[in-house]
Amino acid sequence: MTQTVRPKPGILDIALYVGGESRIDGQDDILKLSSNENPFGPSPKAVAAFRAAAVGLHRYPSTDHRDLREAIGEVHGLDPDRIVCGVGSDEVLQMIAQAYAGPGDEVVLTEHGFSMYPILAKMVGARPVEVPERDRVVDVDGILAAVTDRTRIVFIANPANPTGTMLGGNALRRLAAGLPRTAILVHDGAYAEFEEGFDGGASLVDAFPNVVMTRTFSKIHGLGGLRIGWGYARRDIVDVLNRIRQPFNLSTAQLAAAEAAVRDTDYADRCRSENARLRDWLRTELAASGVASDPSHTNFVLARFADAGEAEACDAHLRTAGILVRRVAGYGLPDCLRITVGDEAGCRRVADAVAAFREARQ
C-alpha cells in the first residue's frame, strides 16, 4: 500500500495571502497605492543605520534584541522586558497562535478583519469563528456573544485594515473585561501611530492580564521591506513567545534600522501630520466625485461605490492611468477599493482619475 506524506489538518484549507500588486503590463509610470506603504519612505536616520550595519554582516545578531527593545520602551514608555520582537508583527501574531491555540480550539476574528487571522488559526489546526461587523466597525457585543469555552484567541485590528475604522477606549475595555481569562485578546495596532495620541493598546495590556498588543515598523516607519514588528504583553506571555521564537529571527541590519527609526520621533510626527492632511483632502475630493468613505484612522481610505461592478470598473480605469489600488472583495467588501494615502502629487493623481471615471459614467 502506497503511503503519502500529508500536512496537518487545516493546512490545505488555507488560501494563500496575496499582497498588493506592484506592476501593470505595458505601464512604466506606476503609482502604487495598494499596500499602505509610507510614500515618504523611511527615516534618513534609519537608512544611515542600515548602511552602517553592512560592515558587520559577518557577525551574528543579538538573540535578545536588547537595544531595540530598550529604544521601543524609552519612546513608548514601556517595560523593555515585556516586549518581544519579530519578523514583522505577522511573526508575533503567528507565535501567539502557535503558543496558545490548536486542534479543537476556536479563534475569533471579525468579518472584515486582516486576512492573516484565519490563516493563522488554520495553521495551528484551530477553527476560525467570524463575527459580523456593524457598518464596517468591530462589534464588541457580537464578539462577546461568539466566545465559548473553546475560544483561545480573539484577533482585532485597531485601527482596522481594510476599513480604517476604530474602536474607542471604552469599547476596548468592555471587550477585554468581557472575555474569559482563558482567552487572549490580541490588539493588532499596525496603524496605531496614525491616530494622534493613541497608545496602540498599551494601557489595555497593563489593565488586563490576557491582552497582547502588536505593532509594526512597516507602516509609519516605512520599513516594510525589512519586516520588523514587536509585541507587548505580560512577562509570562512574553516568556512563552520567546521560547518558540527563532533566536536569530532579526538581522543586525534590521535591528539597527528599527532602533534608529523608532528614536526618530520628529520624522514619524511629520509623516503622521502629512498623512492626516492628505487623507482628509483625498476623502473630500472623493466625496465631491460621489464616492463615500468612512472617517479613516489609518494611512488609507476605503472608497465605497454603488456596487461591486462599479468598484471593479473604477479599478480598471485607475489601472489604465497607471494607478494601483487594492480590491477588497476577499475581505467581504466587493463594492469597495482601498486606496493608500500617497504624497500630494499621488493623491491629486488618484483624485483626478476617480473624478474622470465618475464623470464618464454620468
- Interval 158-169 mean pLDDT: 95
Q: Which pLDDT value is given to residue 14?
A: 78
Which cell goes with 24?
501593470
Mean pLDDT of 92-118: 97
Give the C-alpha separation, 35 to 19, whole Å: 7
User: What percent of the chain clears pLDDT 70, i.e. is strictly above it?
Assistant: 99
pLDDT of res. 28: 75
The answer, yes or no, to whether residue 101 has pLDDT greater than 70, is yes
φ and ψ at 202, to 5 degrees?
-60, -45
Average pLDDT, the chain: 95
Would you list the domain boundaries of the chain? 19-41+266-361, 44-263
Q: Which of 3-12, 92-101, 281-290, 328-337 has the least mean pLDDT?
A: 3-12
Is 170 exposed, middle or buried (CB count within 10 Å of its CB: 0-12, 13-18, 19+)?
A: exposed
pLDDT at 13: 80
Q: Angle 116-123/88-100 helices, nearest 10 degrees?
A: 40
pLDDT for res 26:
72
- Supply the pLDDT for residue 6: 80
Q: Residues 280-285: what's their mean pLDDT?
A: 98
- For the segment 214-239, what is each residue's pLDDT rounded down to a tens digit? 999 999 999 999 999 999 999 999 99
* Per-residue pLDDT at 248 exceeds 80: yes
pLDDT digits (tens, 9 = 90+) for 1-33: 567 888 877 788 877 777 777 677 777 789 999
For residue 2, what pLDDT is reported? Answer: 67
User: How many CB atoms sit inside 10 A of residue 291's CB?
Assistant: 25
The span from the CA of 336 to the CA of 332, in Å, is 9
Q: Is the pLDDT of residue 42 over 60?
A: yes
> Closest by alpha carbon to 268, among 316, 223, 226?
223
257: pLDDT strictly greater than 90: yes
CATH class (in words) of the domain with range 44-263: alpha beta
CB 22 within 8 A of CB 324: yes
Packing angle between helix 265-288 and helix 344-361, nearest 10 degrees?
10
What is the three-class DSSP state of 336? strand
Exposed (0-12), middle (13-18) or buried (19+): which is 62, by Cβ within 10 Å? Answer: middle
Instruction: Assign domain 19-41+266-361 to its CATH architecture.
Output: Alpha-Beta Complex (3.90)
Name the grid cell of 51. 548602511
Across 96-111, b (16+ Cβ under 10 Å) vs e yields bbbbbbeeebbbbbbb
pLDDT tens digits for range 75-84: 999 999 999 9
Residue 330 predicted with pLDDT over 90: yes
